[in-house]
């Protein structure tokens, strides 16, 4: 079974750094793109960026370029999303998902809730 | 890029059919047949329901169907059931950046 399992919920203060993870299993992790999607409280889905774990080729949404860093460690089938200095506005649920060649996201991880509050 | 336009809400009674529209431009929805649809129940991760405009992943009910005309894609749910009550999102991929719609809340009356 293809599965993406994300790291647990985080509570951080403004200005702190954070790295959340997404571990793939049941398929060739290096052969498929992984995407990250943000969902702010009560809001819709926003695409943040994608990475190809095979060679770490990374594409960012213009809205998130420079705000986050997406990376992957293919040796442990894990993709990451990180912030160097969190803001309260980063409070959201973050999902990873496998990104298919036709632009679809499937399957999805269970989500990681990030709360940034002083 | 602005989000694709979806109605904020739609509703229908059990057994009825409803259609959710997703309007973009000739640069996104109108460019390629790469529109997907997602169902999201409260507190859950989104689930792929339709890909490449009208294809259904294995395990998705054939009550769900997709289509496209020009710059507007549509998701139709026939034989509405209580379990279909959820948020639905469209997504268009024009070869560079995926673009989501704002989402539609489906209420089953």
Average pLDDT of span A37-54: 96
Is A79 a residue whose pLDDT tops 80? Answer: yes
The mean pLDDT of chain A is: 96
Report the relative pairing of strands A78-83 and A69-73 from DSSP bridges: antiparallel
The C-alpha atoms of residue A16 and residue B71 are separated, in whole angstroms, by 43
pLDDT, position B95: 75
Chain B nearest C-alpha distance from A15 (Å): 28
A110 interfacial to chain B (CB closer than 8 Å): yes
Q: Which of A47, A60, A100, A104 has the highest number of chain B CBs within 10 A, making it the mutation to test binding with B?
A: A104
Q: Within 13 Å and on the Cβ side, how many CA atoms surround A115?
A: 6
Burial class (CB in 10 A: 0-12, 13-18, 19+), A71: middle
What are the tens digits of pLDDT across the range B5-32?
999 999 999 999 999 999 999 989 998 8
Residue A89, number of CB atoms within 10 A of its CB? 10
Residue B4, number of CB atoms within 10 A of its CB? 25
Is A80 a residue whose pLDDT tops 80? Answer: yes
pLDDT, position A95: 98
Q: Are B96 and B34 in contact, with CB atoms under 8 Å apart?
A: no
pLDDT, position B1: 66
Instruction: Give the chain B residue whose CA is nearest to the CA of A45.
Output: B100
Exposed e or buried b for every residue in A24-63, given b needs 16+ CB within 10 A?
beeeebeebbbbbbbbeeeebbbbbbbbbbeeeeebbbee
CB contact under 8 A, B48 and A105: yes
Q: Which of B1, B3, B96 sits opposite A44 (nearest CB)?
A: B3
pLDDT, position B78: 97
Q: What is the dihedral of CA B29, B32, B33, B37, to 10 degrees?
A: -40
The C-alpha atoms of residue A28 and residue A112 are separated, in whole angstroms, by 23
Token pair of A18 as six digits: 């954070």
pLDDT, position B97: 87
What are the tens digits of pLDDT across the range A9-22?
999 999 999 999 99
CB contact under 8 A, B89 and A45: yes
pLDDT, position B13: 97
Q: Are B60 and A9 in contact, with CB atoms under 8 Å apart?
A: no
pLDDT, position B96: 79
Average pLDDT of span B27-40: 94
* Helix (H) / strand (E) containing B40: strand B35-40
- pLDDT bucket at A71, cuts 50 / 70 / 90: very high
The per-residue DSSP string of A49-117 comes to EEEETTTTEEEE-TTTBTTBEEEEEGGGTEEEEEESS--GGG-EEEEEEEE-TTS-EEEE---EEEEE-
The whole-angstrom distance between residue B52's C-alpha and the CA centroid of its chain comes to 11
pLDDT, position A88: 97
User: A109: which chain B residues are within 8 Å (Cβ-Cβ)?
Assistant: 45
Is B2 a residue whose pLDDT tops 80? Answer: no
The C-alpha atoms of residue B11 and residue A82 are separated, in whole angstroms, by 39
What are the tens digits of pLDDT across the range B69-107?
999 999 999 999 999 999 999 999 987 789 999 999 999
B86 interfacial to chain A (CB closer than 8 Å): no
Q: Which of B97, B99, B101, B105 has the highest number of chain A CBs within 10 A, making it the mutation to test binding with A?
A: B97
């Amino acid at each position: 079974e293809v599965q993406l399992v994300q790291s647990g919920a985080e509570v951080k203060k403004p200005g702190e750094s954070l790295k959340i993870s997404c571990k793939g299993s049941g398929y060739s992790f290096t052969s498929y793109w992984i995407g990250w999607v943000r969902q702010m409280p009560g809001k819709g889905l926003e695409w943040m960026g994608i990475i190809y774990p095979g060679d770490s080729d990374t594409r960012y949404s213009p809205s998130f370029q420079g705000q986050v860093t997406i990376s992957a460690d293919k040796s442990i089938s894990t993709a990451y999303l990180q912030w160097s200095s969190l803001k309260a506005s980063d409070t959201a649920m973050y999902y990873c998902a496998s990104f298919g060649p036709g632009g679809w996201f499937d399957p999805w991880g269970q989500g990681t809730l990030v709360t940034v509050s002083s | 890029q602005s989000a694709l336009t979806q109605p904020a809400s739609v509703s229908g009674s059990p057994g009825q059919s409803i259609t959710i529209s997703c309007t973009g431009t000739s640069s996104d929805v109108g460019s390629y047949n790469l529109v997907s649809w997602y169902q999201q129940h409260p507190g859950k991760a989104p689930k792929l329901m339709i890909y490449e405009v009208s294809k259904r992943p294995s395990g998705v009910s054939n009550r769900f169907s997709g289509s496209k005309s020009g710059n507007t894609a549509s998701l139709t749910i026939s034989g509405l059931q209580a379990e279909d009550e959820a948020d639905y999102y469209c997504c268009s991929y024009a070869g560079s950046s995926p673009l989501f719609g704002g989402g539609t809340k489906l209420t089953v009356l």
